[in-house]
Amino acid sequence: MATASTPRSPIESGCPDGLQYVHPVMLKNFGNWDYHVRPRPGVLCHIAKSGDKIWTVRVGTQRILDLFTLRKLCDIGDDFADGHIHFTLRSNLEYMVDKEEKVAPLIEAVEKEGFIVGGTGNSVAMISHTQGWLHCDIPGTDASGVVKSMMDELIDEFKKEEMPNRVHITTSCCQINCGGQGDIAINIQHTKPPKINHDLVSNVCERPSVVARCPVAAIRPAMVNGKASLEVDEKKCICCGACYPPCPPMQINDAEHSKLAIWVGGNHSNARSKPSFQKLVAAGIPNNPPRWPEATAIVKRILKVYKESAREWERINDWIDRIGWARFFEMTNLPFTKFHIDNWRGARKSLNASTHIRF
């Protein structure tokens, strides 16, 4: 028999202070850094105004860490670094050391255990991604598997700094796009309206909020087989899947018809041009586990052309701004279709109202 006990009240401490875990050299020089250099790919050296230096070794991992791997990374941090670890936005792990002579043995230890040193400067950075089939409730594909497959193929570009500028790749398992904007984004694109299980709708879904969720007002309440349900105007439906999270009986994921699409030119930085959103370049790509070779092949093709054609410091969006979209499609040998011409709100701003045409 369970014994009654008073539940413990939470301590609402919120976000912990990060400075208690920061390397002492970084803490000492807080806000007083002068410049940095990259002695080799995967390594940063920051020089403080005081003359102090800190070396950072950036490490790519599988992102979902099991206890053994996490402890192995901690062991390396204790034995070869100074016991401090920082994680980047793209889930790379960084070790910081206060002496140059610690760098080479640290890299050796990291690589000996199968981790990858790189991801700095003009590299293809670690792909930022979502949960996918491993944990999400609405995924159209896996995330970790797609990323593992692609990084296996892109690993040399992670370890080098040979791109014109940095390349951030993202993946998303549904069209909500939790993976965010990227120089290249690989996202699910559904191509058929949801299949509705009318027996379940009235028990599972709050129908007005499902109706409200549809971006194109294609959903309306309906009686189906004597049960309160919902129906979709399939001519209006854009197959976005927005109705599926609030109403799982409106199944949008489909083994065959949920495809992958590739978008390029998303750039978060304000450097040179204002931040930009990614643009559609390819779709209809099969969602093909366990290795998604078709998607990887297109990503590699885009990267190859970018690497050969872009000038130094051009991110993918800067490069396409210079060469134009017509040449992008020509050089990448990707088909340009009616689906590339936007028809969403604000679409008019994306049309070319000039004679600015490259021949």
Partner 1 sequence: MVKKYETPMLDQLETGPWPSFITGIRDLADNHKDERIQAVNHSLLGQLEHSYETRKGYWKGGTVSVFGYGGGIIPRFSEVGNQFEASREFHTLRVQPPAGNHYTTGILRQLADSWEKYGSGLITFHGQTGNIMFIGTTTENTQHFFDEVNSYGFDLGGAGPCVRTAMSCVGATRCEQSCANEHKLHLKLVNNFTDDVHRPALPYKFKFKVSGCPNDCQNAIERSDFAVIGTWRDEIKVKQDEVKAFVKEKGRKYVINNVISRCPTNCISLEDDDTLEINNSDCVRCMHCLNVMNKALSPGDDKGVTLLIGGKRTLKIGDLMGTVIVPFLKMESDEDYDRIVEIAEETIDFFAENALEHERTGEMIERIGLINFLEGIGIDVDPNMVSHPRESSYARMDTWDEEAEKWNNRKSETAA
From candidates 120, 123, 141, 229, binder to partner 1 by CB under 8 A: 141
Nearest Cα to Cα of residue 320 among 337, 333, 335, 305: 305
Stretch binding partner 1 (CB under 8 A), from 63-71, 230-238, 295-303, 331-339: 63-71
Residues numbered 201 to 260 that lie near partner 1 (CB under 8 A) are 209, 212-213, 215, 242, 248, 253, 255-256, 258
Decide if 164 contacts 121 (C-beta within 8 A). Answer: no
Residues numbered 149 to 188 that lie near partner 1 (CB under 8 A) are 149, 151-152, 155, 175-181
Nearest Cα to Cα of residue 168 among 179, 156, 182: 182
Stretch binding partner 1 (CB under 8 A), from 66-74, 231-239, 325-333, 351-359: 66-74
* CB closer to partner 1 out of 229 and 287: 287
Residues numbered 255 to 314 that lie near partner 1 (CB under 8 A) are 255-256, 258, 266, 268-273, 275, 277, 287, 289-291, 311-313
Centre a 10 Å sphere on the Cβ of residue 198 and count the other Cβ atoms it contains.
Answer: 17
Number of residues that bind partner 1 (CB under 8 A): 115
Separation of alpha carbons 58 and 93, rounded Å: 6
- Beta bridge partners, 184, equal 169, 264
Alpha carbon separation from 107 to 9, 65, 96, 116, 148 (Å, rounded): 45, 20, 12, 9, 22
Q: In angstroms, what is the minimal distance from the CB of 333 to partner 1?
A: 26
User: What does the per-residue mask of binding to partner 1 show for 77-116, with x meaning CB under 8 A?
Assistant: xx----xxxxxxx-x-x--x-----------------xxx
> Is residue 34 at the binding interface for partner 1, with CB under 8 A as the rule?
yes
Residue 250 corresponds to which tokens in the numbers above? 């409106």
Q: In angstroms, what is the minimal distance from the CB of 309 to partner 1?
A: 15
Nearest Cα to Cα of residue 215 among 326, 100, 344, 47: 344
Residue 315 corresponds to which tokens in the numbers above? 């991110």
* CB closer to partner 1 out of 25 and 334: 25
Residues numbered 2 to 21 that lie near partner 1 (CB under 8 A) are 7-21
* CB closer to partner 1 out of 75 and 199: 75
Separation of alpha carbons 150 and 141, rounded Å: 14
